[in-house]
């Protein structure tokens, strides 16, 4: 497979990039939210410094962990940069994470502070009571106020901590290759280089305005946000996607680039009241996280005149491929390697053997932005072969060099673009006294854009047969997990299906 072009990176980490903007274009607007609140580069720097000073007084230092758990907002962005100015690692937790899932992620990451919002605090007060919590939108006894910390922070006498390239700056709790929830570590350099390369691949620059509705708590949202930031584009950020509000934001702010999951584009395309003129500022739309149907891809271009292309990435590696716009009419392809990435297809059972054109095998990747590793050294070792990341995704390459997704080697369910690890649900079900054995897998939903629904095959202990219902087990799991992880069916069996 052809090698990708090399890149020269202007900076080594996000804070270096921000200092560059502070020198060259301090008064340019970097960020604007759905309510019209904006931040220039200088304002972002000043607010981040003030928050960093206050966080430092709370005990946050170089190498510590700061949990950020809230929907997209200006405060989310300030929190990211404040933590990075201290040389801390930001632990991004989905604000929909609940109960045992949340308790595990917090106790595992051991954060010095948790920065969150009212909705999370009210829902998870018991779990959060063990931590130092900062709220961006509520005042409550024992909860620190984000705004008070900003006001109390000083601009004088602060200098951002100098970090090393391989210092961990970002942690996610999605480990698709390993097939279970645990820490995925990204370095400060990968935080810059991966998004920079993605921006290079799609020609992102100062004249662009990028809409970010995918959550920063997921690699898709963070990659889109950071790509716009490191390439000097303006960013429009929204708390969440809405089929009516999103086109209005695109129109109001002259958005030129928008990335999302297939379901978002399905809903926009199916909005019969939407005038094509509302999207006239767009030059490019991109879809990832789940297969994009040909009817949506071609229909979107036909209706709005805007190319809708696919790209491919994973939590362990940001983005690796983008569909070239010259092949915008080719469906089902995730494209080819972006600049700086090396890709090859190998035998799933023998990664030393590279496969040729038209053969289906596991995608292996090398790039400067691939994860440093997992928190579990053994799982890290298994994820690599001779320096190549084994993605667990099966691909095929055609004569144009385009890659086509052909399934997964790893155990993962995709629901509305969210990754679900069957092993996590199995571990939870095994905590129920009635469950002897369990196997969780995905069943295809009636709507292809939704993806798969988690279902469980359960062998009961003899003494519980005919004494427990499928609803009992479904409720047991679903009271402990976020909406997208919820178990949809339980099948009682005498023997588990072949795994």
**SS in 3 state form for the chain?**
CCCCCCCCCCCCCHHHHHHHHHHHCCCCEEEEECCCCEEEHHHHHHHHHHHHHHHHHCCCCCCCEEEEECCCCHHHHHHHHHHHHCCCEEEECCCCCCHHHHHHHHHHHCCCEEEECHHHHHHCHHHHCCCCEEECCCCECCEEEHHHHHHHCCCCCCCCCCCCCCCEEEEECCCCCCCCCCCEEEEHHHHHHHHHHHHHHCCCCCCCEEEECCCCCCHHHHHHHHHHHHCCCEEEECCCCCCCHHHHHHHHHCCCEEEECHHHHHHHHCCCCCCHHHHCCCCEEEECCCCCCHHHHHHHHHHHCCCEEEEEEECCCEEEEECCHHHCCCCCEEEEECCCCEEEEEECCEEEEECCCCCCEEEEEECCCCCCEECCHHHHHHHEECCEEEEEEEEEECCCCCEEEEEECCCCEEECCEEECHHHHHHHHCCCCCEEEEEEEEEECCCCCCEEEEEEEEEECHHHCCCCCHHHHHHHHHCCCCHHHCCCEEEECCCCCCC
User: How confident is the prediction for the chain on average, in pLDDT?
Assistant: 94
At 487-496, the pLDDT tens digits run: 999 999 999 9
Least confident of 149-158, 171-180, 295-304, 469-478: 171-180
CB within 8 Å of 187: residues ≥ 6 apart: 165, 166, 167, 168, 169, 372
Could you tell me the domains of the chain?
Answer: 26-36+187-366+383-410 (3.40.50.12780), 413-492 (3.30.300.30)
Chain Cα centroid distance, residue 392: 18
Nearest residue to 492 (alpha-carbon basis) of 454, 453, 460, 444: 460
Among 304-318, 401-415, 478-492, top mean pLDDT goes to 304-318
- The reported pLDDT for the residue numbered 410 is 75
Packing angle, helices 422-429 and 470-478, rounded to 10: 110
What is the C-alpha separation between 4 and 340, in angstroms, rounded?
Answer: 6
pLDDT of 2 reads: 45
Q: CA 269 to CA 305: how far, in whole Å? A: 12
What's CA 200's distance to the chain center, in Å? 20
Percent of the chain scoring above 70 in pLDDT: 98
Q: Find the range with the poorest average confidence among 52-61, 172-181, 330-339, 365-374.
A: 172-181
Confidence of residue 175 (pLDDT cuts 50, 70, 90): low
Cα(312)–Cα(323) distance, rounded to whole angstroms? 9
Whether the pLDDT of residue 44 is over 50: the answer is: yes
> ∠ at Cα 308 (444, 267), nearest 5°?
55
Q: What CA–CA distance (Å, rounded) separates 22 from 36? A: 22
Whether 139 shows a pLDDT value over 90: the answer reads no
Contact 179, 207 (CB under 8 A): no
The yes-or-no verdict on residue 3 having pLDDT over 70 is no
- The per-residue pLDDT for 232 is 98
């Amino acid at each position: 497979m052809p090698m990708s072009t090399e890149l020269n990176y202007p900076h080594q980490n996000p804070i270096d990039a921000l200092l560059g903007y502070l020198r060259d274009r301090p008064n340019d607007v970097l960020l604007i939210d759905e309510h019209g609140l904006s931040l220039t580069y200088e304002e972002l720097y000043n607010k981040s410094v003030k928050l960093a000073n206050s966080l430092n007084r709370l005990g946050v230092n170089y190498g510590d962990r700061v949990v950020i758990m809230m929907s997209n907002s200006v405060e989310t962005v300030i929190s990211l940069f404040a933590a990075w100015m201290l040389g801390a690692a930001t632990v991004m937790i989905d604000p929909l994470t609940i109960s045992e899932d949340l308790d595990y992620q917090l106790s595992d990451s051991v954060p010095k502070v948790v920065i969150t919002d009212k909705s999370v605090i009210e829902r998870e007060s018991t779990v959060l009571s063990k931590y130092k919590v900062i709220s961006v939108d509520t005042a409550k006894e024992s909860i620190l106020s984000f705004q008070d910390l900003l006001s109390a922070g000083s601009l004088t006498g602060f200098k951002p901590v100098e970090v090393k390239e391989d210092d961990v700056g970002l942690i996610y709790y999605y480990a698709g290759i390993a097939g279970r929830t645990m820490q995925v570590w990204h370095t400060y350099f990968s935080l810059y280089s991966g998004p920079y390369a993605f921006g290079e691949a799609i020609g992102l620059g100062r004249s662009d305005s990028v809409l970010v509705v995918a959550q920063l708590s997921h690699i898709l949202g963070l990659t889109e946000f950071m790509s716009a930031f490191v390439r000097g584009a303006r960013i429009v950020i929204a708390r969440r996607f809405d089929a009516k509000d999103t086109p209005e934001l695109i129109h109001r702010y002259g958005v030129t680039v928008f990335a999302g999951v297939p379901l978002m584009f399905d809903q926009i395309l199916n909005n019969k009241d939407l005038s094509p003129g509302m999207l006239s500022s767009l030059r490019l739309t991109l879809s990832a996280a789940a297969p994009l149907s040909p009817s949506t891809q071609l229909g979107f271009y036909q209706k709005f005149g805007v190319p809708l292309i696919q790209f491919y990435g994973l939590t362990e590696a940001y983005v690796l491929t983008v569909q070239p716009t010259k092949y915008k009419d080719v469906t089902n392809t995730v494209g080819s390697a972006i600049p700086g990435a090396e890709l090859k297809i190998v035998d799933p059972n023998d990664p030393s053997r590279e496969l040729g054109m038209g053969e289906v095998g596991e995608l292996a990747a090398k790039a400067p932005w691939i994860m440093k590793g997992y928190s579990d050294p053994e799982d890290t070792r298994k994820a690599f072969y001779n320096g190549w990341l084994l993605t667990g995704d099966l691909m095929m390459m055609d004569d144009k060099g385009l890659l086509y997704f052909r399934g997964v080697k790893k155990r993962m369910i995709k629901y509305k673009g969210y990754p679900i690890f069957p092993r996590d649900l199995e571990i939870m079900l095994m905590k129920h006294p009635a469950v002897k054995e369990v196997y969780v897998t995905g069943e295809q939903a009636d709507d292809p854009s939704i993806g798969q629904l988690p279902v469980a095959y359960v062998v009961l202990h003899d003494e519980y047969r005919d004494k427990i219902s499928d609803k009992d087990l479904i409720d047991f799991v679903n009271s402990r997990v976020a909406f997208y992880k919820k178990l949809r069916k339980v099948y009682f069996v005498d023997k588990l299906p072949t795994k």
